[in-house]
Amino acid sequence: MLSRLIQRSRLLSADPNGPEEFAYLEMQYWAASISCLSVLVFFLWHLRKSTNNGMSKHLKYGSFSVALYSMTYFLSFLLKTDGGLMVMPNMVYMLCHGVAAVILIKHILENFPSCSSFGEALLVCSGLVLYFGDMLAHTLSKMEFSMSSKAFIHTPGTRSDMTTVIQGILLGLFLLPLLYKSSLQVWGYCRLEGNQRTQAVEEYTRKRNGSAVFYILLVVVLMFLVPSWTHMVQGLKVHPFVWIINYMFTDSHERLALCAYWICVIYVSVRRFYNISKQSKTERILLRKYYHLVAVLIFSPAVIFQPAFLDLAFGAAFAVFLVLEMIRIWEIYPLGKLVHQFMNAFTDHRDSEILIVSHFSLLLGCALPKWMSSGLNDRPLAPFAGILSLGIGDTMASMIGYKYGVLRWSKTGKKTIEGTAAGITSVLAACSILVSLLASSGYILSQNWLSLLIAVTLSGLLEAYTAQLDNAFIPLVFYSLLCL
């Protein structure tokens, strides 16, 4: 967020809506900061309860950092408002982000302990809270019941229809689990006691009813809830699905050709790699890296020739992944077992029977830099941050390190110096090719090669040393360094 703020500050004079968007981005920065700060406070509180011999050194430093950051946040809003009159509403709004982040990270760590570390859970909960906070801000700004909602929530007026459509569909799908669980509970309370049934019959009836409830709620959410929200927030007069179809056929030849290309690549790669996973002894880590290369083949042409359409495609793919994961977890008939069998062929130690995160992390690792680069962008390589770091760098580092790596970075780790060097070199080579392609396509390049070298090197070293999920962290770090 800080890198994005620095980048937007360079473009204020070139964009007539720049000050408004910069103010809203600054509010999002503080919201993300308060979310992380609240989680840190919660962690320090638990640490203090578990410390018997007084305050440890880490606890003292953490408490001092919390106090200093809180004072900085308060003074920043005090200076930006008229006499401090709007400090309290702003603080309440930000505090809601912090409370939501604490509740969410507690839920993630308790229910999915094998799927994420503390850092990964913090990244996920901060991102979700920020995303839903953005939805809430735009919703409140359109409501007329509160005269103060527009006073302290400065939403930019340049929001595109595509952003609203993507956000509306994801909002409905994120609310679907709550509606599904609540409906099943109501169904259980309202079900009349009948004749005694065997356990097998009871289980079959429960799954059949659960599947019916899921499909009904999915239709209700997508056909009624999502269009209602998009109409209220954006004034969209057509159904989001109709809008998507109209958008696809606006520039039909290029976009439909791109869709056909995607379908062919996905079909061939999935069929090929799935058969390999069942019949050969290929290491699963290498098999999963092949999908990183497939991501390069799928996304790179779209970033260059149809960047706006790729934003929509990323949103659609994420929505499909969410629906399929719900079907797999709840064993929704008839696809539940088939989806679980297919996805289980590509899992690793971070996945569990409860939640499979590998495909989500790869998709979001490629999508987030592209989504965050929407609008004015003076760093043409920034949208490629996920594709370069995951599809090229991470893949080459893993393959070269696995086959030829000898010198390890640590005695206990598996990552090698040869793999890291191969990853950094391959990303630099890919960047040189992309720069030539972008220049021939009419882009005005402002990326300094020295800063690019530093960004690629630091990202490669972080990939070698980090114990976190590199699909989630490395693209965001690389994107941040490219924006500076």
pLDDT in tens, 153-180: 666 666 788 889 999 999 999 999 999 9
Looking at 191-238, list the stretches that DSSP marks H as alpha helix, in order from N- to C-terminal side: 199-220, 226-234
List Cα–Cα distances, 428 to 207, 267, 431, 476, in angstroms: 52, 30, 5, 18
| End-to-end CA, the chain | 11
Determine the pLDDT at residue 409: 81
Q: What is the pTM of this model?
A: 0.85
Closest CA to 358 of 289, 312, 419: 289
Q: Which residues of 285-312 are buried (b: 16+ CB within 10 A; e: fewer)?
A: eebbbbbbbbbbebbbebbbebeebbbb
**Chain centroid, CA 252 distance in Å:** 29
Determine the pLDDT at residue 429: 92
DSSP letter at 411 equals S
pLDDT in tens, 451-481: 888 889 998 888 888 766 677 788 888 988 8
Average pLDDT by consecutive 10-residue portion of the chain (484 residues)? 71 68 79 83 75 58 69 66 56 82 85 73 85 84 56 65 90 91 80 56 74 91 92 88 89 86 89 70 69 88 88 92 90 86 71 74 88 76 89 88 83 82 92 82 68 88 76 86 84
Determine the pLDDT at residue 57: 63
Determine the pLDDT at residue 221: 94
Determine the pLDDT at residue 348: 65
The domains of the chain are located at: 1-142, 160-250, 252-307+349-483
481: number of CA atoms within 13 Å, CB side? 22
Position 378, amino acid: D
Tell me if 427 sits within 8 A of 388, measured CB to CB.
yes
Neighbours of 44 (CB within 10 A): 19
Tell me if 30 sits within 8 A of 130, measured CB to CB.
no
Determine the pLDDT at residue 146: 47
Only one residue has tokens 């954006």, namely 234
Is the previous residue joined to 369 through a cis bond, with omega within 30 degrees of 0? no
What is the C-alpha separation between 437 and 443, in angstroms, rounded? 9
What is the C-alpha separation between 210 and 217, in angstroms, rounded? 11
Closest CA to 42 of 127, 124, 119, 103: 103
Structure tokens at 405: 């790596």
Determine the pLDDT at residue 79: 64
Determine the pLDDT at residue 173: 92
Contacts with 394 (C-beta within 8 Å, 6 or more apart), sequence order? 289, 292, 423, 463, 470, 471, 474
